Chains A and B, each alone.
Chain A
Amino acid sequence: MHGRVKVRTTEEERARKEKERQEKLKIYKHAMQQIFHKRKEGELDKNLLELTGKVLSSNPDIYTLWNIRREILIILKKADESEEEMSQLYDAELQLTEYCLKINPKSYCAWHQREWVLTTRANPNWEKELSLCNMYLKFDERNFHTWDYRRFVVSQCKPPLKDEFDFTTDKLMDNFSNYSAWHYRSKMLVELYPDVEGGRPIEDSHHKHELKMVQSAAFTDPDDTSAWFYQRWLLGAVKTNIEVAVYTVSPLKTTVAFSKPVNQTYVASKIRLFINNDLVNGEWQSCSGNQYDVLWIFKHNTDVTDSLDVKMEYDNENGDVQKIPGVKQNGNTYVGKGEIDFQRKYSKPVIEELINQLDSCRQLLAMEPDNKWTLLTTTVFLHCIDAKQYHKEIIENLHTLKTIDSWRAGYYDDLITKWSLEDQLAIDYKSDSIDFKIKFDDKITSLPHLQYYSHCENVDLSNQNLSSNVLASLELLQNCKKLSLANNQLTTLQRFPNLNLEELNLTGNNDLDQEELEVFKKNCNYSVIF
């Protein structure tokens, strides 16, 4: 089914080929009939091994034939076949799989049969299997079956992990474009060199070493993508904690937003709400109804009135008890905010390396200003080193990327949205306002981090580039009263969530269906403007 190029042939040639195929088909059908007949009669013998072997040699994917072979081998073993005899049969089986893998190196069945034989027979020769992997990886360094098989062999014969790590270094020195080797390396890096003390995924000096290795790979050929994915992973390999973003206690509802999705057990054991120093009892429900969520609703029976002392305690991941006081808003609503900081935290040697590499990137960019990968990497470096300081440059670069890598313009749009919102959030969280309005020039295309605004009562998302696929995430605006989506690109309201709004503004979404709007309005108990 794959890679069969259609070639134009003469009628004569076609007829000859068809005749050939019909011959083959006849032999195949006859063999299959014989095989299934013998199996039905319980004749699981060496003759059947031969018959199935012949068919499999040209069609290694007929899974049932491999099953039959295993049945025969099991029976022969039980039937007191001598150890030497069995050993020969297993060797023959391995030869057959090797033959089949030459025809189709991606045959799941043949690979699995090999695994079965080696785990079934006595005294398997794992060293031989490992060298077989080496050989196969020379033919095709990206065959994931071979890599999987290698991992299986390694799990059995357990060579030192460092040997396998060095193997990936060798493979990468042959060809930096070997994504499979980068992948395997990532697995071993965190096993071999975790940062036990600092709680980071990778120990500092190795983190730095890997970054250097990526740099030499990537600069050999910036258009070869493999190393860039590994680099993005290295840059993201920092410690991040689950934090309380914001909580809201109003006469109607109590909500708590987290930086990452958590489950009920987590919330119930880590969060305590106090009103006038009394612990409030209640039950936690996720906003979406799912097991894990970033926003949790606390159902309790305590009256929320004027001039209360509201406080939340959170047992954070560093083992401290974080106390977050609630600040009173108008209308007996209390809001408490956690500390937010989206800046990634690297160790000193790593950040020095990043600054160094940023420099090289800029030099490269000066020579070839429209190279996508160099520009993207420069931008990511800037964001990692100091997102706030370089914000303007980062956004400009993303706009350039939209034109030179137009295939992924939507991705860069969403990055502009996300990073601009992170920049704005730092400022918004310094004030006690319960309004949310976009304060930068670029129009947003998605709604990341929306749980951070779950306390807001007035949400103004007008004049943006939002389409209908963002609607479901508005569910996080649990305390919103006035919501404006005026002048966006909405096309349907199908996924609009259930919210306790007072007013919803939908004007200027010209592709919204009038009929749908009327029906929607009828079903709402708040005013809908369109």
Chain B
Amino acid sequence: MSMYSVLMNNIKMTLNPKDVIISIDRPKILLLKKHIDYLAKYGTDQDDYEYNMTEYLRMSGIYWSLTAMELMGASDRMPKDDIISFISTCQNKESGGISACFPHDPHILYTLSAIQVLTMYNRLDAIDVEGVVKFVASLQQPDGSFYGDIWGEQDTRFTFCAVMCLSLLHRLDAINVDKAVEFVLSCMNFDGGFGSKPGSESHAGLIYCCVGTLSICKRLDALKVDALAWWLCERQLPSGGLNGRPEKLPDLCYSWWVISSLKILNKMRWVDKERLEQFIMACQDPDTGGFSDRPGDITDPFHTLFGVAGLSLLGNSKIKPVNPVYCMPQETIDRLKLKPQML
């Protein structure tokens, strides 16, 4: 390769409007303590605007923070007893489903988050487990798909929530797994990826959901692995970050969804891990702590989890191993004796 073309490549790299430039003053090492303090403090101010306005996804917020804290070995900084009694109040007595926050309505997204938190704490006794099983099973449709709640929104995210939730409870027998798989496969696209419903465009987040579902159901054989993994590794941009769809900006959460899928497919070597690590490190905020979607943006617990979990998959020794399917500590998955399929 000539000098000239190296130069051309570099120019193209910096001119790419669909990527970010990581300035040299961005963090390059893991600011572990800052993140722990950031998450420990998050939500302690009951008058915080951001915290209040995200009440409708509180349960997932707790899952993001607790999982990140578990992975950083600092879960003792979370108010365990408060969290457990909070979850108890969020379960709907009639349907068995769990809401984001009382008195909001039960939904499968928050039911899963609650189950993930309670399994990490090993405190499933705090809720009516049979009620949860009944709720999740009631959402399966004749075509195998799952609704998010009684209102009929259909999405492969909800299939993943259902399958993950029931597998954590060792109750996959409560649903028609073959039908669930059949539905997921009906969402497969020309590029080997998956969207939210049949006909929908491939999207890294939904690919993670569908690959995760097939992993738990031990049906990874049905994937077009080479096409899918190639599409996934093409998500990596010159900056090292990954986007969720072609021609989009890189984002830390997509970085997680892409590499966790690649990990399940045993193709993580198809991306440049060093450059990805640089991108993730650059998404840290050295002042406030936490990670953001892109270098220089405002941090939040959601991206903080995916930053920490991403570094874990890349083998960072300061973070505990994460399970790529469940996005929970591997030690929790081992304790539950769960063995999702990995290629």
Kindly identify, within residues 11 to 26 of chain A, every residue whose CB is under 8 Å from any CB belonging to chain B.
18, 21-22, 24-25
Residues of chain A with a CB closer than 8 A to B8's CB: 370
CB nearest to B197 among chain A residues: A148
Kindly identify, within residues 22 to 47 of chain B, every residue whose CB is under 8 Å from any CB belonging to chain A.
47
A413 vs B267: C-alpha distance when bound (angstroms): 12
A-B contact count (CB 8 A): 177
A408 in contact with B234 given A2-B251, A22-B47, A64-B105 (CB within 8 Å): yes
B203 is an interface residue with CB less than 8 A from chain A: yes
Residues of chain A with a CB closer than 8 A to B343's CB: 472
A406 vs B272: C-alpha distance when bound (angstroms): 8
* A6 & B222 in contact (Cβ 8 Å cutoff): no
By the criterion of a CB under 8 Å from any partner CB, how many residues of chain B are at the interface?
71
A410 vs B274: C-alpha distance when bound (angstroms): 13
* B270 & A414 in contact (Cβ 8 Å cutoff): yes
* A59 & B53 in contact (Cβ 8 Å cutoff): yes
* A144 & B201 in contact (Cβ 8 Å cutoff): yes
Kindly identify, within residues 358 to 414 of chain A, every residue whose CB is under 8 Å from any CB belonging to chain B.
369-370, 400, 403-404, 406-411, 413-414
A5 vs B297: C-alpha distance when bound (angstroms): 4
* A63 & B219 in contact (Cβ 8 Å cutoff): no
Q: Which of A108, A183, A445 contacts B189 (CB 8 A)?
A: A183
A6 in contact with B201 given A404-B5, A407-B236, A411-B233 (CB within 8 Å): no
A194 vs B211: C-alpha distance when bound (angstroms): 28
* A370 & B245 in contact (Cβ 8 Å cutoff): no
By the criterion of a CB under 8 Å from any partner CB, how many residues of chain A are at the interface?
70
Distance to closest chain A CB from B314 (angstroms): 14
Give the segment of B134-142, B160-168, B298-306, B323-331 that binds chain A: B298-306
Residues of chain B with a CB closer than 8 A to A24's CB: 49
* B105 & A67 in contact (Cβ 8 Å cutoff): yes
* B103 & A144 in contact (Cβ 8 Å cutoff): no
Q: What's the dominant secondary structure at chain A's contact region?
A: helix
* A3 & B293 in contact (Cβ 8 Å cutoff): yes
Question: Which chain A residues have a beta carbon within 8 Å of chain B's beta carbons?
Answer: 1-6, 18, 21-22, 24-25, 28-29, 36, 39-40, 59, 61-64, 66-67, 70, 108, 112, 116, 142, 144, 147-148, 151, 177, 179-180, 183-184, 186-187, 223-226, 229-230, 232-233, 236, 261, 290-293, 369-370, 400, 403-404, 406-411, 413-414, 445, 467, 469, 472
Question: Which chain B residues have a beta carbon within 8 Å of chain A's beta carbons?
Answer: 1-2, 5, 8-9, 12, 47, 49, 52-53, 56-57, 99, 103-105, 107, 149, 151-153, 155, 189-191, 195-197, 199-203, 218-219, 221-222, 227, 229-231, 233-234, 236, 238, 240, 245-248, 251, 266-267, 269-272, 275, 285, 292-294, 296-298, 300, 302-303, 341-343
A-B contact pairs, 16 of them (CB 8 A): A4-B292, A25-B53, A63-B105, A144-B245, A148-B199, A151-B199, A225-B234, A261-B222, A290-B218, A370-B5, A404-B5, A410-B270, A411-B230, A411-B233, A472-B342, A472-B343
Known contacts A148-B200, A410-B271; 4 further A-B pairs (Cβ under 8 A):
A64-B105, A407-B272, A408-B270, A414-B267
The 8 A-B residue pairs with the shortest CB-CB distance, nearest first, are: A410-B269, A261-B221, A186-B190, A370-B5, A292-B221, A21-B49, A64-B104, A411-B270
